[in-house]
Structure 1
Amino acid sequence: MKILVTGAAGFIGAHCVLRLLRDGHQVIGLDNFNDYYDPALKHARVNWVEEQVGEFPMVRIDVADSEAIAALFTRTQPEVVIHLAAQAGVRYSLDNPKAYLDCNLGGFLNILESCRHHPVKHLIYASSSSVYGANQHTPYSAHDGVNHPLSLYAATKKANELMAHSYSHLFGIPCTGLRFFTVYGPWGRPDMSPIRFARAIVEGSPLKLFNYGQHQRDFTYIDDIIESIARLLERAPQVASGWDREHPDPSTSMAPWRIYNIGGEHPVELKDYLALMEKHLGRKADVELLPLQPGDVLNTYADVHELEHDTGFHPRVELDEGLRRFVAWFREYYLLPVIPPSLAGESPCLGEPVQKRRTL
């Protein structure tokens, strides 16, 4: 199929493009390469994909540019859209709220409008586990209500689900929303915990653990995210038979609209997660324990029964193995030396950096 992937130079986007191209699909990538974090990492991801499967069309457009998005759809006529572009980050939304309105709401509206005027077989879009907000009933089920977001970022993701539902109902666009749970792995974002933790450990700088390290997160390895997307690709949602308007199920609809959780289904406390990171890096962290931050949820825990029922797939990469793979990439990307096992936990430093070491 001809598939448009927005956010194609992002963490999930690059992995997604690689898998789709390997599966024989025709992919058009879209990204604005903004400077929320170092654009060099985004370009490196694209190069990584092209080194393995060859060049693919990559257009530099901001999803908030309605005219450019409309023109792209007119020109390319995608059959499927995988919308991963977004302004990410919970804490950043406290200081830069307008970026979330422009990209997450305005940008998603542009995608929906283009899918309306150039009908697609399936629109898959990224939501987030953050939509569960103040909900403390775990594991989080897609059948639960999500009416109490704790950050503007979470509110925009909740709004995306509602916007998709209205367009699905009005114009028959088959829409699947994916609530990702703490995605990690090679080529991850620098503002997320794996790179932040690894950077602090190798530099010997203080590592801030909020809520005194007692948060629980349902970490999900990137390969499990991509496998889920690949299996859902040709499973465009249908109208739910027997859907009850008097007792509506929040995960399905009388429209061709569906919500899935994608998570590891094994929540881990951050202090235990940090211990695994220390093990694979071969050095202890200098930890600073701090209270809970505004916008943070205490625990995340995915119920993925619907995903498994509909696709036959259940996320399967354990955290220890996933972090081992992440650390291997982290060392290679930043050209860090490897500590011999005999020195793990004993050496006060990681040795002299090689000349071409990338900036941490």
Structure 2
Amino acid sequence: MSEQPERILRFDIFRRIEHWTNAGSFITLGLTGLIQKYSEANLSQFILNVLGGIETVRIIHRISAILLVLVSIYHIGAFVYGFFVQRKPLSMIPTKEDLTNAWHSLKYNFGYEKHEPKQGFYTFEEKFEYWALIWGTVIMGITGFILWNPILSTKLLPSSFIPVAKAAHSGEALLAVLAVLIWHMYHVFIKHFNKSMYDGYVSREMMEHEHALVLEDENPWKPAPATDEDFQSRRKIFLGTFPLFAAILVVGLAFFVTAEETAVVTPAQIPDMVEVNSYSPIDPTTIPTSISVEPAEIGTSWEDGFGDLFQENCSLCHAQQGGQSNLNLTNYLSALEGGDSGPAIRPYAGGISLVVIWPARGDHPGKFTPGELAAIRQWIDNGAIEN
């Protein structure tokens, strides 16, 4: 009888490189994302300063996102190659046995069973974590595209999708980070120290404890020899199709990151007011109390009144053809896109929207009453709804 090896190969070098590349991009995305989400926290401020400020952090975040997408494309290729070419079993697909194992594991943890359930190459815990990663990557990718390209997104979707994407992106990110810190760290570091993603091997004792069904399998999967004709045929099909598919995905990724720069380039800061000498009376002037301006009743959306207001007051200079400063305020999307000075309307940010700033200065040709300006700012702060 042949001597059984003390260590068993679980993950080859390619799987380990993929894992650590994915882990590196995930950790970087989580760190740079959370310090933006909680930017007012002292720890966030410290990390932001160490990394070179918010601009550098945003660049790092986007580079890590690109790396995550590239790793995902590679993972698709590795999965298809393993399943189609090598005929590997789909051991990561959840089955009804996983539900049974989860139930028996719960009973074991509460002391109602003496032994843990025997599981295959992947346990139900690992499958749950894997599909949570897939789900999270899809959600983060879709919402990330919307936030990266807000103008393009609002041409295809209602503008209300922008705040929805922001909430989903940050919420899913927080959930993913907590899942890794609690679930993943427990299973690979606390429950037992699993070194298979370091050197690829696990001990026979751990395999018997965690993946007993693999050792008990009388007909385990084995890779086909390189001389096998069916294997060579499937490999040729894969090499003739997947590179084209991957190239299409890479082109899509390039479009993803270059479609627009609205969310990448930070608008130039408006200069502070210049301090000048002025007449100072002998007797101090009584400082008046602030008077809040009641917003005029214009409507609740662009189509409901604000579009007509801009058409009436601004179309002389900012018309559809040849508008001054390349700014067109005769339709909603053009107003969002803006002109030479940047977007004229920034949803949820009325205080830095040019349609509020410039008319309020007093020397601008376009005039609005205080009530109209208050209504415009209120509309923008509420999301600048189109219809």
The structure in which a higher percent of residues are helix is: 2
Q: Over alpha carbons, which structure has the higher Rg?
A: 2
Q: TM-score, normalised by structure 1?
A: 0.22
TM-score, normalised by the number of residues in structure 2: 0.21
* Bigger strand share: 1
